[in-house]
Amino acid sequence: MAENNKITKKEDLILFLSDTDEREGLLGKKNRKLLSDPLTDNNPITVQVLGICSALAITVKLEPAIVMSLAVMAVMAFSNMIISLLRNLIPSRIRIIVQLVVVAALVILVDQILKAYAYDVSKQLSVFVGLIITNCIVMGRLEAFALGNGVYKSFLDGIGNAAGYAFILILVAFFREFLGFGKLLGYQIIPQSWYDAGYSNNGLMLLSPMALITVGLIIWVQRSRSRSLIEQN
């Protein structure tokens, strides 16, 4: 769960120590930071290296990646809010269990509602909805943020981190579907004339290792752009 929380810990500590009742606009500077940081220098996938498992599993095509992102966003926003509401009541010895119960209950709710009212979407996501429970980002944010911050801030943090996750997921899915199938969202993008001229889809892109390599390339690009992310030793 905590492959790399050097950066998160320091930031969270500052947020934890700062007065949470501090008067600030709904989307004041600090709150905006909660939303924007996970998209860039504190991205849950490329910087904290959390949630890699689902980034591999559902990025073969763009559409499931988008739906999965939305489901994760809903679960993260609500679980962060619930845990933040309960943060002063949860006995610290069993907090991980409580977090798991809350996340699992939310995921089952999402699954049941999708099955009843959005049957096609639920079929498309199939087992991956259930796997949101095991997504390290959800538990990671509950533990690192929601337990020590107010409800609204936790909500923003949930949305922000889910957006950071979604951004990478969709980016990886874009390259995998484009290079692997020549399609985007199921529509043919690469024209037939290319195939006739000898181009062929890269089947390797469909296999999980290429998701890992794509994520690696994204990390490379990100680190060469913002040098502060590179570890000193």
Partner 1 sequence: MDRNSNAYTFLFVILLIAVVASTLALTATSLQPAQAENVKNEKMQNILGTVGIEVVRDSAQIPFEKYIVQRIALDNKGNERTEVNAFDVDLKKELKKPVAEQSFPLYVANVEGSKYYIVPLRGKGLWDAIWGYVALKDDVNTIKGAVFDHKGETPGLGAEITQMWFKKAFDDEKILDSSGEFVGVSVAKGYQGGDNKDDNAVDAISGATITGDGVTDMISERLVNYLPYFKNKTNVKVASN
As measured in angstroms, the least distance from the Cβ of 207 to partner 1 is 7
As measured in angstroms, the least distance from the Cβ of 22 to partner 1 is 26
Q: What is the C-alpha radius of gyration for the chain, rounded to an integer number of angstroms? A: 19
- Nearer to partner 1 by C-beta: 14 or 94? 94
- Nearer to partner 1 by C-beta: 92 or 192? 92
In this structure, what token pair is assigned to residue 59? 């990025």
- Nearer to partner 1 by C-beta: 67 or 162? 67
As measured in angstroms, the least distance from the Cβ of 36 to partner 1 is 30
As measured in angstroms, the least distance from the Cβ of 114 to partner 1 is 10
Footprint of partner 1 (CB under 8 A): 57-58, 60-61, 64, 89-94, 97-98, 101-102, 105, 108-109, 112-113, 115-117, 119, 123-124, 126-127, 176-177, 180-181, 203, 206-207
As measured in angstroms, the least distance from the Cβ of 37 to partner 1 is 30
As measured in angstroms, the least distance from the Cβ of 195 to partner 1 is 15
Looking at the DSSP bridge assignments, the partners of residue 37 are none
- Nearer to partner 1 by C-beta: 145 or 181? 181
User: In Å, how far are 184, 190, 192 from 197, measured between CA atoms?
Assistant: 21, 12, 9
User: In Å, how far are 118, 146, 175, 193 from 202, measured between CA atoms?
Assistant: 33, 42, 11, 17
- Nearer to partner 1 by C-beta: 153 or 176? 176
- What does the alpha-carbon distance between residue 95 and residue 231 come to, in Å, rounded to a whole number? 31
- What does the alpha-carbon distance between residue 99 and residue 105 come to, in Å, rounded to a whole number? 10
Specify burial of residue 68 (Cβ count, 10 A radius: 0-12, 13-18, 19+).
buried
Q: Name the nearest CA neighbour of 170 among 43, 68, 49.
A: 68
- What does the alpha-carbon distance between residue 90 and residue 159 come to, in Å, rounded to a whole number? 23
Contact 51, 162 (CB under 8 A): no
- Nearer to partner 1 by C-beta: 23 or 93? 93
